[in-house]
Structures are given as C-alpha cells and as structure tokens.
Amino acid sequence: MNDEYGNPIWKNRVESWKDKKNKKKKSNTKPETEPAQVPPEQQMEEKPSAEASEPLSIVYPIPRNKLTPYRAVIIMRLIILGLFFHYRITNPVDSAFG
C-alpha cells in the first residue's frame, strides 16, 4: 500500500515515530535543577509514636478441648474429599466436559 506520493505507508509511520521520539529526547535533556525547597511548616516530623511499637495482632490462648472437635471435622472433610477424588478417577463420566 502506498500513499499519494508513492511511498509505502509504513515508512511514513516509522518516520513520524522517529520524529516523536527525537522530540521527546530533546525535551527530556533539559538541565536538572535542584529539588524544590519545602517550607518548614510542611516538613514531616519523625516522632516515634506509641502505636508503632504495638504488635499488629494478639495471640489468645485457646484450650485444646475446644480445638479438638474442629480438628476432627477438618480431618473428616479431607478423608471424604480423598474418597470423592478416588471415586471420580476410578469411575470417569464419558459425557462430562473436559
């Protein structure tokens, strides 16, 4: 595909991209200035706060006799899930997707 002057269209695009790139390089090569001075009223003060030294979480002791039933339920669910996967692998469904 050619434009009205007979040049390939992609060549014009590449040239325009190069021009844009060169313009950006010229604008970025300005000499670096010193960072702006912040007024003393707006400067951050580093004061150690009491909240910074506190832990983010607290560990509460839970008696073993309250945790045991939950552990049993988790283990039962894992066993049932294992049995389900074993059944699915040994008895595949031919009409299922996948």
Domain ranges of the chain: 67-92
pLDDT of residue 43: 75
Query: Could you identify the residue written with the tokens 């702006």?
Result: 36
Mean pLDDT score of the chain, rounded to an integer? Answer: 84
- Please say whether the beta carbons of 32 and 41 come within 8 A: no
Q: What is the pTM of this model?
A: 0.41
What tokens were used for 12? Answer: 């014009």
Would you say residue 25 has pLDDT above 90?
no
Residue 28 and residue 26: Cα distance in Å, rounded? 5
Per-residue pLDDT, averaged over 60-66, amounts to 94
Phi, psi of 2 (to 5 degrees): -125, 155
Query: Could you identify the residue written with the tokens 């692998």?
Result: 89
Per-residue pLDDT, averaged over 5-14, amounts to 77
